[in-house]
């Protein structure tokens, strides 16, 4: 009986939520700032794509998950620096704020995420204006790792294999329309190795 | 009818999903954890299975998991397709609808549940079960092909079908599309296994709000699993500020006992791989068996972990009903309880918290539950008179330390078990080998340009448990066509001769007489002959064979009952040689003479047989043993025709002698005039780098060339044996040879080089000649050469200098390189230059150089490779 009630409640809430286009929670992310440098030479990397996608948590019977509600993008300047303005919007019921996530890519370098370890720091925390310049530390198997918030060091790659693997696949939500800078760089790299374009 | 029911069912589910989620104009990202886990599995060797190696060795993907496949105009590398499957099992539509609406799984995720105690899925109530709306994930995973519906067909049988279609596709477009779907489907099946490591998914808990999956969510706000640099990191439950990398000695990946793949143990599927889900070992009364024995992942998770809605505080008391364990009784004195409460300081706030450990009934979990101290503000009195508030404990698993502890137990199994699903799918179960002939195919000596019309091979079922008694057997030949003549020395590195970017061609052929593949224990395997629908061209390079079996697979369970998988797909592949020429030149128009004059002047050299050679041996002034009678009666110095040359090939492990009877030879050449080259014989055989791979036995008789003016003179002086006599006396000639390897590999290309012999470029050239004439019966101790140097008839190839690796130091810092051009050995390290090339890396059994390619003359496969991209040259240690 409990299961029938439980299922009924789920469906009831579902119907109730369906027409609720009016949002009732505020979604806000602050400005993000950072700097991208070569891990070995510490030289700034100009022209790296900084692609940000803003996510909310949603809930469903299968376990729920995260979904993207907005995207922003920019390129690093000659100093390797970037700024992503703050973003505020309204959320739907049964959604809660999740972190903003990043893709950072420059052909010839390891990309984020996947190629760079930020401990377990949330990237939005890592690139938050308030934290910029301060040090953070975590431990991997009890070995301390120190990072400077806001400064992302990308290791340089040399082989074709490494470079192709560093090409980010991007979140399922978004393609060249949402991230034109990112996909421009991706396709430049793909053409360099004789591969067709993706969008 | 069944299809209609399922369609209606799906539509109803879709409607519910749509109503619930229509309101959100957003994009789905659910499944990032599955995606990352799948990519990790695809890129790593787990349980002695490496997908990359399998793809290169068996499916013949040159780039392995990095090979790009295009499906639906989307190019992705193999490992990304597998990752995509991890995402798409929840969200089959992906970005197609990102602009319009978020469309959830249309019911797919409703079927990601399996309760091992009831064998039902989500919402285990009669009406649900009756119509099978939320079937167990075992049923979902093993739906018949094409039955999952409009969210996409990615059941085990669908994926096997895509596999078969890919293997037998006649063009590259279809092949890539089917392989892409196969890899995506595998990723989706792995997702189903991974879900069994989530307590909610095995305890019938339709989890809506914050739960373990959210906590785990990759890089999420509360993300506690992280993938970077090809590694998996988890938050450490012992110290939440630390991370631990898995696998480690403390946290190894866990796999199902391989012996449990012998037979299916679950009634919902007849395929043993379903044992990854549920082995029917745990029955609700034996939780200790979930750690003492190897069991399905759903059994382990169900018996040892709880979810928010299946603990007592929510109303369903564990220990009753169909979820008997863990037995959550909040009384340390109760020995029937699975848990025990203890105090643990929380480093984040210094407060002492109360946790429960799971101390019995299966797995031990240090942080199993947390108890929060709360005030009962709902009590009316308490609201107005705080001093009357009653403190009470709320128990929850929604705690960082608890979830981190769960993750360290469950993630290693999620990885291990889902990796095993892929391993089982791909397990190499068919071995291809040569028959006793020592080759797979040979050309027609009268028409070699036609290529190869027939492939003959041995096939063995090498699986441990399976039998393949009835099915369709297809042979797929994969190859490229060389743009340059592959049987002469070429500048293989020139753009005109490169094959790296050339497309593969495929020949797919069935033999309806072949329906089964015998087990390895039944002998060498079944001999199979395939008449090709189109000939394999003589200029083929990069030749690979793949044998596929699609049909019934028979296995025996403990009671010896025979179980069937009706449309299983099994494969085996082999990289075989490229067309290998058997060059034969009749050198009997040349004679080696080692003469010494009365004055002691010694001359050893090659001469034209006939008058010139007769003069050399008969003239006493030149040869102190000559008799100046004008006849060549001192030695047989006449040109000969090779008569009845019989050639037989065989394997190196089963050497066979040539004979004249049918079946005892492969080629019979009746007449080879002196000085003539035979270049019409070609084989497809095995290739083993640096080693001989096939055996040649041959026998021939000779006669003076009909055109020789001294024929009568010779016949009077030198009788010869017939071929029958030679064979009876066992005077056959045997030797081993290497086959040609002329193909691209991930780091470069193998190319052959041919030896110039008397103006001909020869591979394994066979020369027949008499022993040399020696003036003395005792050889000159200062000149022990027993024959004229063969090189005197050889023109050195001008292809350049050659380099070979003689040794590499254990630390891979130095290598000893042999320069063929100078016949010198030299030790090199990174940065050194040798033969105009720069050493840029030294690795395990290989040295990488950069610069313009060198070359080498000789009869062996060239070792030098060159990448089309990087101008690098790879030397491999034989």
Q: Using one digit for the tens of pLDDT, what is the confidence trace for B575-630?
A: 999 999 998 888 888 888 888 888 888 888 888 888 999 999 999 999 888 899 98
Q: B549: closest CA among B519, B575, B577, B504?
A: B519
Residues 6+ apart with CB under 8 A from B555: B262, B263, B264, B272, B465, B466, B467, B562, B563
Residues 34-53, chain A: which have Cβ within 8 Å of B? Answer: none
Residue A74, pLDDT above cutoff 90:
yes
Preferred mutation among A28, A52, A57, A61 to probe B, highest tally of B CBs within 10 A: A61
Q: Which residues of A touch B204 (CB under 8 A)?
A: 3
Tell me if B673 sits within 8 A of B618, measured CB to CB: no
B875 band by pLDDT with thresholds 50, 70 and 90: low
Tell me if B640 sits within 8 A of B703, measured CB to CB: yes
Mean pLDDT across B117-127: 77
Q: Which residues of A touch B869 (CB under 8 A)?
A: 160, 193
Tell me if B339 sits within 8 A of B329, measured CB to CB: yes
- Distance (Å, rounded) from C-alpha B79 to C-alpha B73? 17
- Inter-chain CB proximity A113 and B228 less than 8 Å: yes
Q: Using one digit for the tens of pLDDT, what is the confidence trace for B483-502?
A: 989 988 776 666 777 787 78
**Which pLDDT score, from 0 to 100, does residue B270 have?**
76
Is A123 in the B-facing interface, judged by CB distances under 8 Å? yes
CA distance B50 to chain A (A): 17
Q: Which residues of B touch A60 (CB under 8 A)?
A: 17, 20-21, 104, 109, 208
Q: Which of A56-70, B107-121, B705-719 has the lowest mean pLDDT?
A: A56-70
Is A28 in the B-facing interface, judged by CB distances under 8 Å? no
Q: Is the pTM of this model over 0.80?
A: no
**Which pLDDT score, from 0 to 100, does residue A181 have?**
94
SS (H, E, C) B154-211: CCHHHHHHHHHHHHHCCCHHHHHHHHHHHHHHHHHHHHHHHHCCCHHHHCCCCECCCC
Q: Which candidate from A59, A117, A119 shows the least CB-CB separation from B208?
A: A59
Is A22 in the B-facing interface, judged by CB distances under 8 Å? no
Q: Where are the beta strands (DSSP E) in B255-350?
A: 339-345
ipTM of the predicted structure? 0.75
Q: Using one digit for the tens of pLDDT, what is the confidence trace for B430-478?
A: 999 999 999 999 999 999 999 999 999 999 998 877 888 889 999 999 9
Give backbone dihedrals phi and psi of B76, rounded to 5 degrees, phi first: -150, 150
- Inter-chain CB proximity A98 and B220 less than 8 Å: yes
CA distance A74 to chain B (A): 21
A15 band by pLDDT with thresholds 50, 70 and 90: very low
B373 band by pLDDT with thresholds 50, 70 and 90: low
Give backbone dihedrals phi and psi of B81, rounded to 5 degrees, phi first: -65, -40
Residue B315, pLDDT above cutoff 60:
no
Is A143 in the B-facing interface, judged by CB distances under 8 Å? no
Q: Which residues of B touch A172 (CB under 8 A)?
A: 27-29, 31, 84, 87, 91, 94-95
Residue B26, pLDDT above cutoff 50:
no
Tell me if B355 sits within 8 A of B401, measured CB to CB: yes
Q: Which one of A19-33, B176-190, B475-489, B859-873 scores highest in mean pLDDT?
A: B176-190
For chain A, give the mean pLDDT: 81
Residue B222, pLDDT above cutoff 60:
no
User: Which residue is closest to B26 within chain A, CA to CA?
Assistant: A69
More confident residue, B742 or A157: A157
Q: Which residues of B touch A95 (CB under 8 A)?
A: 24
- Inter-chain CB proximity B29 and A196 less than 8 Å: no
**Which pLDDT score, from 0 to 100, does residue B535 have?**
96
Q: What is the DSSP letter of B676?
A: P
Q: Which residues of B touch A193 (CB under 8 A)?
A: 869
- Distance (Å, rounded) from C-alpha B241 to C-alpha B234? 11
CA distance A88 to chain B (A): 15
Residues 156-175, chain A: which have Cβ within 8 Å of B? Answer: 159-161, 164-165, 169, 171-175
**Which pLDDT score, from 0 to 100, does residue B438 have?**
95
Residues 6+ apart with CB under 8 A from B729: B721
For chain B, give the mean pLDDT: 80
B105 band by pLDDT with thresholds 50, 70 and 90: very low
Which string of b and e fits A115-125 if b means at least 16 CB within 10 Å? Answer: bbbbbbbbbbe
Residue A156, pLDDT above cutoff 50:
yes
More confident residue, B120 or B13: B120
**Which pLDDT score, from 0 to 100, does residue B672 have?**
92
Q: Using one digit for the tens of pLDDT, what is the confidence trace for B791-842?
A: 556 543 333 335 667 777 777 788 887 776 566 778 888 888 876 677 877 7
Is A24 in the B-facing interface, judged by CB distances under 8 Å? no
Is A92 in the B-facing interface, judged by CB distances under 8 Å? yes
Q: Which residues of A touch B95 (CB under 8 A)?
A: 172-175
**Which pLDDT score, from 0 to 100, does residue B630 have?**
87
Q: Which residues of A touch B868 (CB under 8 A)?
A: none
**Which pLDDT score, from 0 to 100, does residue B239 have?**
81
**Which pLDDT score, from 0 to 100, does residue B716 have?**
85
Residue B37, pLDDT above cutoff 90:
yes
Q: What is the DSSP letter of B726?
A: H
H helices present in B44-171, as ranges:
51-57, 78-88, 126-131, 137-141, 156-168
DSSP A163-179: HHHHS----TT--TTT-
Q: Which of B105-109, B426-430, B619-623, B709-713 has the lowest mean pLDDT?
A: B105-109
- Inter-chain CB proximity B217 and A66 less than 8 Å: yes
- Inter-chain CB proximity B198 and A138 less than 8 Å: no
Strand-strand pairing, B584-586 and B766-768 = parallel
Q: Which residues of A touch B61 (CB under 8 A)?
A: none
Q: Which candidate from B26, B80, B229 shows the least CB-CB separation from A169?
A: B80
- Distance (Å, rounded) from C-alpha B119 to C-alpha A35? 53
Q: Which residues of A touch B90 (CB under 8 A)?
A: 62-63, 65
Count of Cβ atoms closer than 10 Å to residue B130 Cβ = 8
Task: Give CA angle at B17 (B415, B297), nearest 5°.
Answer: 20
More confident residue, B750 or B300: B300
Mean pLDDT across A100-129: 85
User: Which residue is closest to A65 within chain B, CA to CA?
Assistant: B30
Q: B184: closest CA among A172, A113, A182, A63?
A: A172
Mean pLDDT across B653-661: 93
Give backbone dihedrals phi and psi of B178, rounded to 5 degrees, phi first: -70, -40
- Distance (Å, rounded) from C-alpha B787 to C-alpha B673? 23
**Which pLDDT score, from 0 to 100, does residue B20 have?**
43
**Which pLDDT score, from 0 to 100, does residue A87 have?**
92
Q: Using one digit for the tens of pLDDT, what is the confidence trace for A81-101?
A: 999 999 998 887 777 788 888
Q: Which candidate from A20, A21, A66 shows the least CB-CB separation from B30?
A: A66
Residues 6+ apart with CB under 8 A from B591: B606, B607, B608, B609, B613, B637, B769, B770, B773
User: Which residue is closest to A145 within chain B, CA to CA?
Assistant: B242
- Distance (Å, rounded) from C-alpha B227 to C-alpha B43? 12
Q: Which residues of B touch A97 (CB under 8 A)?
A: 221
**Which pLDDT score, from 0 to 100, does residue B418 have?**
97
- Inter-chain CB proximity A67 and B125 less than 8 Å: no
Q: Which candidate from A15, A66, A117 shows the least CB-CB separation from B220?
A: A66
Tell me if B64 sits within 8 A of B746, measured CB to CB: yes
- Inter-chain CB proximity A101 and B124 less than 8 Å: no
Mean pLDDT across B232-238: 85
- Inter-chain CB proximity B23 and A17 less than 8 Å: yes
Beta bridge partners of B596: B602
- Inter-chain CB proximity B105 and A11 less than 8 Å: no
Q: Using one digit for the tens of pLDDT, what is the confidence trace for B63-97?
A: 889 999 999 888 899 999 999 999 888 877 665 43
**Which pLDDT score, from 0 to 100, does residue B218 have?**
56
User: Which residue is closest to B248 within chain A, CA to CA?
Assistant: A141
Q: Which residues of A touch B24 (CB under 8 A)?
A: 58, 67, 92, 95
**Which pLDDT score, from 0 to 100, does residue B683 have?**
96
Q: What is the DSSP letter of B751?
A: -
Preferred mutation among A7, A16, A66 to probe B, highest tally of B CBs within 10 A: A66
């Amino acid at each position: 009986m409990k299961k029938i009630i439980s299922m009924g409640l789920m469906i009831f809430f579902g119907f109730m939520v369906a027409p609720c286009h009016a949002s009732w929670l505020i979604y806000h992310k602050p400005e993000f700032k950072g700097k991208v440098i070569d891990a070995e030479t510490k030289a700034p990397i100009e022209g790296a794509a900084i692609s940000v996608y803003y996510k909310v948590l949603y809930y469903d019977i299968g376990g729920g998950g995260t979904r993207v509600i907005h995207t922003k993008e920019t390129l690093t300047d000659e100093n390797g620096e970037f700024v992503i303005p703050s973003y505020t919007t309204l959320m739907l019921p049964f959604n809660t704020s999740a972190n903003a996530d990043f893709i950072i890519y420059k052909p010839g370098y390891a990309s984020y995420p996947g190629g760079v370890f930020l401990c377990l720091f949330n990237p939005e925390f890592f690139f938050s204006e308030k934290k910029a310049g301060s040090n953070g530390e975590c431990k991997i198997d009890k070995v301390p790792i120190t990072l400077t918030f806001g400064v992302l060091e990308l290791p340089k790659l040399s082989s074709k294999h490494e470079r192709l693997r560093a090409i980010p696949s991007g979140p399922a939500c978004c393609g060249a329309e949402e991230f034109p800078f990112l996909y421009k760089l991706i396709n430049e790299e793909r053409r360099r190795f004789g591969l067709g374009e993706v969008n | 009818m069944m299809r209609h029911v399922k369609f209606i069912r799906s539509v109803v589910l879709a409607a519910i999903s749509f109503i619930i989620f229509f309101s959100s104009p957003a994009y789905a990202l659910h499944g990032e954890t599955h995606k990352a886990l799948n990519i990790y599995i695809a890129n790593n060797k787990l349980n002695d299975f490496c997908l990359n190696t399998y793809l290169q060795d068996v499916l013949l993907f040159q780039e392995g998991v990095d090979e790009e496949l295009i499906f639906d105009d989307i190019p992705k590398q193999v490992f990304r397709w597998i990752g995509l499957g991890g995402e798409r099992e929840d969200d089959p539509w992906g970005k197609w609808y990102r602009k319009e609406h978020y469309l959830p799984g249309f019911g797919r995720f409703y079927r990601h549940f399996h309760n091992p105690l009831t064998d039902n899925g989500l919402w285990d109530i009669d009406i649900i079960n009756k119509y099978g709306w939320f079937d167990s994930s075992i049923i979902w995973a093993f739906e018949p092909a094409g039955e999952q519906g409009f969210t996409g067909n990615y059941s085990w049988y669908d994926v096997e079908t895509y596999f078969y279609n890919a293997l037998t596709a006649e063009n590259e477009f279809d092949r890539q599309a089917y392989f892409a779907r196969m890899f995506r489907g595998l990723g989706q099946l792995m997702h189903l296994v991974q879900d069994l490591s989530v307590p909610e998914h095995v305890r019938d808990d339709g989890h809506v709000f914050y739960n373990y999956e959210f906590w785990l969510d990759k890089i999420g706000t509360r993300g506690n699993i992280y993938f970077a640099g090809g590694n998996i990191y988890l938050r450490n439950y012992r110290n939440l500020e630390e991370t631990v990398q898995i696998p480690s000695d403390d946290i190894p990946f866990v796999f199902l006992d391989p012996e449990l793949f012998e037979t299916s143990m679950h009634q919902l599927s007849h395929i043993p791989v379903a044992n990854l889900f549920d082995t029917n070992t745990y029955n609700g009364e034996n939780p200790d068996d979930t750690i003492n024995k190897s069991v399905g992942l759903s059994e382990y998770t169900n018996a040892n972990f709880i979810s928010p809605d299946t603990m007592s505080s929510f109303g369903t008391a564990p220990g009753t009903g169909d979820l008997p364990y863990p037995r959550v009784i909040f009384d340390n004195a109760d020995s029937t309880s699975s848990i025990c409460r203890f105090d643990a300081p929380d480093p984040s706030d210094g407060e002492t918290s109360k946790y429960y450990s799971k101390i019995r009934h299966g797995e031990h979990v240090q942080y199993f539950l947390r108890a929060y101290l709360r005030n009962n503000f709902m009590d009316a009195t308490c609201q107005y008179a705080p001093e009357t508030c009653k403190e009470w404990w709320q128990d929850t698993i929604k705690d960082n330390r608890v979830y981190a502890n769960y993750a360290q137990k469950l993630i290693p199994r999620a990885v291990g078990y889902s990796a095993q699903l892929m391993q089982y799918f791909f397990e190499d179960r068919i071995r291809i080998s040569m028959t006793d002939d020592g080759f797979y195919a040979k050309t027609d000596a009268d028409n070699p340009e036609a290529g190869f019309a027939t492939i003959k091979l041995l096939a063995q079922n090498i699986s441990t448990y399976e039998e393949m008694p009835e099915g369709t057997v297809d042979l797929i030949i994969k190859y490229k066509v060389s743009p340059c003549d592959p049987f002469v020395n070429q500048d293989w590195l020139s753009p005109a001769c490169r094959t790296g970017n050339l497309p593969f061609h495929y020949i797919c052929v069935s033999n309806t007489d072949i329906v089964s593949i015998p087990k390895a224990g039944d002998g060498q395997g079944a001999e199979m002959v395939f008449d090709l629908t189109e000939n394999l061209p003589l200029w083929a390079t990069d030749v690979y064979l793949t044998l596929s079996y699609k049909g019934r697979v028979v296995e025996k369970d403990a009671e010896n009952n025979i179980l069937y998988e009706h449309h299983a797909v099994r494969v085996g592949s082999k990289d075989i040689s490229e067309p290998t020429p058997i060059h034969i030149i009749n050198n009997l128009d040349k004679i080696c003479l080692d003469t010494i004059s009365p004055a002691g002047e010694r001359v050893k050299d090659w001469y034209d047989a006939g008058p010139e050679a007769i003069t050399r041996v008969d003239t006493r002034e030149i040869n102190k043993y000559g008799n100046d009678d004008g006849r060549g009666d001192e030695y047989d110095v006449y040109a000969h025709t090779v008569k009845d040359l019989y050639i037989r090939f065989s394997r190196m492990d089963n050497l066979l002698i040539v004979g004249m009877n049918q079946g005892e030879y492969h080629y019979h050449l009746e007449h080879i005039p002196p000085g003539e080259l035979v270049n019409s014989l070609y084989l497809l055989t095995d290739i083993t780098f640096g080693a001989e791979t096939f055996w040649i036995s041959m026998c021939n008789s000779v006669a003076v060339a009909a055109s020789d003016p001294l024929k009568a003179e010779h016949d009077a002086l030198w009788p010869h044996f017939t071929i029958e006599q030679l064979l009876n006396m066992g005077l056959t000639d045997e030797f081993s040879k290497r086959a040609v390897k002329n193909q691209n590999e991930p780091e470069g290309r193998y190319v052959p080089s041919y030896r110039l012999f008397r103006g001909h470029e020869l591979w394994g050239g066979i020369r027949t000649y008499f022993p040399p004439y020696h003036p003395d019966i005792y050889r000159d101790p200062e000149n022990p050469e027993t024959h004229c140097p063969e090189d005197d008839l050889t023109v050195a190839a001008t292809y350049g200098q050659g380099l070979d690796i003689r040794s590499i130091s254990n630390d891979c810092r130095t290598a000893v390189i042999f320069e063929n051009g100078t016949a010198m050995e030299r030790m090199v390290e990174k940065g050194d230059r040798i033969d105009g090339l720069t050493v840029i890396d030294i690795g395990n059994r290989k040295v990488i150089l950069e610069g313009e390619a060198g070359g080498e003359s000789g009869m062996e496969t060239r070792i030098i490779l060159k990448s089309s991209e990087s101008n690098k040259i790879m030397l491999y240690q034989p």
